[in-house]
Homo-oligomer: A and B are copies of this chain.
Amino acid sequence: MPEAASVQATVGDSEFDRDTAVTRREPGVYDVDLSAGWTIISAVNGGYLLAVLGRALADTLPHADPFTVSAYYLTASQPGPAVIRTDVVRAGRTLSTGQASLFQYDEEGRETERIRVLASYGDLGSLPDDVRTTAKPPAMPPIEQCFGPQDAPAPVPGSSAIADRLFLKLDPSTLGWALGAPSGNGEMRAWFGLADGRDPDPLSLLLAVDALPPTAFELGISGWVPTVELTVHVRCRPAPGPLRVSIATRNLAGGFLEEDAEVWDSADRLVAQSRQLARARLAG
């Protein structure tokens, strides 16, 4: 999919897999090195962090696939070492529920909690094929008519290290903010993949739901939009090939806004839905 990758990376052998790897120190305790490669300005991307926690939970729980993951972002993560502590809340036949927390160290060496997560895992491969849906894939121009950070004459505001890890092509109709003319619509749509060509899997969907520029940019808000809470539902194992991610904000009020994301795969299936509550830091 990406134009530049000479050798296509595979699930299990890619930048994303290496940078989300967790090492089991003892049962339920994992060491991880948060990569500086997934930062936006200096902040570690929330979707990347979710995938790291998702890896630890997949190791702890008897089921491998995230079905629903709810993350509360407590303090800002930094690139570097971190510890993840997991617990099995309930191991069921078709679904297991777990909890995980990611910690880093403050100046005095004390553990500081960054994120706490509840999640239920299952086996996406075991689900029946029935689908009744009124949801439709987002109407988007073909990839060739969309634009990524690499297409900008100067660095796009808000882009950073993560831009080199992603294959991100934004629908021009949601790119007004980059030209100084936000539409006011609160929508963001993009073709999404990993820059090294690794195909999507349930774990990378946790990244996909939080990897586009904030919808707040299209509402004319240019500041930082920190996530308070994000829940993602993985509905289907994605087919190989590029994903389409569509995010919408309908209600900005009292300094908070929701971001609703849908992820569609190359087979036109709705593979993930997410919603986050974020803070809008208005000017001043």
Residues of A participating in the B interface, judged by any CB pair closer than 8 Å: 67-68, 70, 72, 74-75, 89-90, 95, 97, 99, 113, 116, 118, 120, 124, 127-135, 185-186, 219, 228-229, 231, 233, 235-236, 250-256, 258, 269-270, 273, 275, 277, 282
Q: Of B185, B236, B251, B282, which is within 8 A of A273 by CB?
A: B251
Task: Name which residue of chain B comes closest to A134, CB basis.
Answer: B250
Residues of B contacting A186 with CB < 8 Å?
Answer: 132, 134
Taken together as a complex, chains A and B put the C-alpha atoms of A110 and B237 apart, in Å, by 38
Contact between chains at A67 and B251 (CB < 8 Å): no
Q: Please give the count of copies of this chain that the complex contains.
A: 2
Q: Do A258 and B273 form a contact, CB below 8 Å, given A89-B116, A219-B132, A252-B130?
A: yes
Given contacts A72-B118, A120-B228, A219-B132, contact A113 B90 (CB under 8 A): yes
Q: How far is the CA of A252 from the CA of B120 in the complex (A)?
A: 18
Given A124-B254, A127-B256, A273-B275, 20 further pairs, Cβ under 8 A? A67-B228, A67-B256, A68-B277, A70-B70, A70-B72, A70-B229, A90-B113, A99-B116, A118-B118, A127-B254, A127-B255, A128-B254, A128-B282, A130-B254, A132-B252, A133-B250, A133-B252, A134-B185, A134-B250, A233-B258
List, in ascending order, chain B residues with CB within 8 A of A116's CB: 89, 97, 99, 118
Indicate the member of A97, A116, A132, A255 with the most B CB atoms within 10 Å: A132
Query: Of B89, B231, B256, which one neighbours A275 at CB under 8 angstroms?
Result: B231
Distance (whole angstroms) from the CB of A160 to the closest CB of chain B: 26
Query: Cβ of A95: which chain B residues have Cβ within 8 Å of it?
Result: 228
With a cutoff of 8 Å between Cβ atoms, the chain B residues found around residue A282 in the complex are 128, 130
Contacts A113-B89, A133-B251 given; does A256 touch B235 at CB 8 Å: yes
CB-CB under 8 A from A236, the residues of chain B are 253-254
